[in-house]
Amino acid sequence: MIKRFRSLPIRSRLALLVAAAVAFAVAAVSVTCWFIVQGKLYDELNNDLAAQKGAVAYPLYEDARSNCGKDPKSDASTYRHSESYAQVVLEDGTICAFDGSAGTVKVTSDDTDVAKNPAPDTNVNEFRNGTDSNGTAVRVLTTPLVVTGIPGPNPERRVLISDAAFVIAVPLKSTQSTLNDLALILLLVSGIGVVGAGATGLWVARAGLRPVDKLTEAVEHVARTEDLTIRIPVEEDSEDEIARLSRSFNSMTTSLANSREVQQQLIADAGHELRTPLTSLRTNIELLARSEETGRAIPPADRKALLSSVTAQMTELAALIGDLQTLSRSDAGQSGDRVQVVALQDTVDAALRRARLRGPELTISADLQPWFVRAEPSALERAIVNILDNAVKFSPEGGTIEVSLNDGVLTVRDHGPGIPAEELPHVFDRFWRSPSARALPGSGLGLSIVARTVQQSGGEISLTRAEGGGTLAAIRLPGAPTPPPALD
């Protein structure tokens, strides 16, 4: 049953839940109402019976004792309520009906108990439901029998009869009819309420889930067509769960569209960059292969130049592929288990040793103050090496490179030709290379990798023209001059 319920559409489940909740509430209210009305009606009957009880006149008592075991005289009117039942019950269960009583009421053990042990307090009332000799339902009151008017010196005295009880009753037909009519009305109202609640619940579910339907249609459309430009309209001032879900979906599709665009651009740029060295490499290899096939030897100097070109092109391809791999890892973000506290001054010092090996004719001065940052050590060192490589690459022979680390700001200043002002906005674009640097080795990805690594470490990077010529690179990373206490 539960599995079948869970397999229903969500709007059907909501409608059923609403209908069930309303049905439960209506049933509880209806049953409570019915019992309250029943109690009120029975209270009225009890009050009516209590008003009829009292001391029985001695002549009426004598007439009743003479009718013991007989049917009451229906044509007599000695009892004041002709539609009621009035009788005396002896302790052995014998019924002595008053003349004019509507009939006799079946005796129970409760009646005989009162007859056997009449309470001194005659105000004790025992109400119950019973039936008459014909099976008609009646409301019964049994009290100790008190008789007045007994002949003697004091005829007004009241005498408690020790072997009899006084039983009066009224029919329950009208009361039961009223309760039955009330039950039918409550049942009809409850049914209408449940049906109305189900219809209302279905309408509310449809209206409330309409944004979910739009979201579902959008997701199905994206899955079917891979169209990431679809957007779900959301009211600006709405802050409910559906609006938040719609905004999250729109944000997700926007991010996916941007990611796809960047991926496509990367593939296109990578294909463009790979085409040139591959074409040149294929041409050189074809020349060498043709020389072997035709038997026409290439002059030694030309052959050596071809082999050197092939080696350089293979090296360039390997560097380009390595840069692409690094960039793809950067796009995936830093791995939380590889990020750690790094002594930036030590990382810069290690990168400086590598830079001095690549430019032994250059003078590289460094002023490094302690600074600790949270970053991926290998990626951060690679970024700093790229910055220093650019400085080495564009520095004139015998030039100077000045490196400084102070208050979390790493600056690298060279004295090369500098970057033209119109090219500065593009230096961190992927595969972008200055026209003046096209002849120099490089993939055009180095500064892009540096920018991504610095950004993922929470920092900033900038390249500007230095006063007096050259380029000034500045990297700002959040951190502290001392390591965290856990590392002491």
* pLDDT digit string, tens, across residues 70-124: 777 654 444 444 578 888 999 888 888 888 788 888 988 888 888 888 876 656 6
174 in the same domain as 192: yes
Q: Note the pLDDT of residue 80.
A: 47
Beta-bridge partners for 85:
169
360 in the same domain as 321: no
Average pLDDT of the segment spanning 301-315? 78
The domain in which residue 46 lies consists of 1-208
Residue 169 lies in a domain: yes
Mapped onto helix, strand or coil, the DSSP state of residue 391 is: helix
Beta-bridge partners for 474:
411, 462
Average pLDDT of the segment spanning 404-416? 91
Is the predicted pLDDT of residue 392 greater than 80, yes or no? yes
Chain Cα centroid distance, residue 285: 63
Q: How confident is the model at residue 425 (pLDDT cuts 50, 70, 90)?
A: confident
Q: Into how many domains does the chain fold?
A: 3
Residue 192 lies in a domain: yes
Least confident of 131-135, 226-230, 404-408, 442-446: 442-446
190 in the same domain as 143: yes
Query: Which residues in 9-152 belong to E strands, given as ranges?
Result: 56-57, 85-90, 95-97, 126-131, 137-148
Domain end (from 302, 329, 356): 329
Q: Note the pLDDT of residue 346.
A: 92
Is the predicted pLDDT of residue 9 greater than 60, yes or no? yes
Residue 213 lies in a domain: no
347 in the same domain as 246: no
Q: Note the pLDDT of residue 146.
A: 86
Residue 234 lies in a domain: no
Domain end (from 150, 183, 208): 208
CATH number at residue 283: 1.10.287.130
453 in the same domain as 305: no
Average pLDDT of the segment spanning 26-41? 90
Name which residue leads in pLDDT, 333 or 196. 196
CATH number at residue 424: 3.30.565.10
Burial class (CB in 10 A: 0-12, 13-18, 19+), 308: exposed
Beta-bridge partners for 411:
404, 474
Domain end (from 329, 355, 381): 329
Return the number of other C-beta atoms located less than 10 Å from residue 484's C-beta.
10
Mean per-residue pLDDT over the chain, rounded: 79
120 in the same domain as 88: yes
268 in the same domain as 147: no
Residue 229 lies in a domain: no
Q: Note the pLDDT of residue 319.
A: 64
245 in the same domain as 154: no
256 in the same domain as 200: no
Q: Note the pLDDT of residue 487.
A: 44
343 in the same domain as 319: no
Beta-bridge partners for 461:
475
Q: Which residues contact 416 (CB under 8 A, 6 or more apart)?
A: 391, 394, 395, 396, 399, 469, 470, 471
Residue 222 lies in a domain: no
Whether the Cβ atoms of residue 305 and residue 469 lie closer than 8 Å to each other? no
Token pair 């119950």 in the structure block, residue: 128
Is the predicted pLDDT of residue 418 greater than 50, yes or no? yes
Is the predicted pLDDT of residue 371 greater than 90, yes or no? yes
470 in the same domain as 385: yes
Q: Which two tokens stand for residue 370?
A: 């302690």
Residue 225 lies in a domain: no
Residue 30 lies in a domain: yes
Least confident of 118-127, 175-184, 193-202: 118-127
**Amino acid at position 105, single letter:** V
85 in the same domain as 195: yes
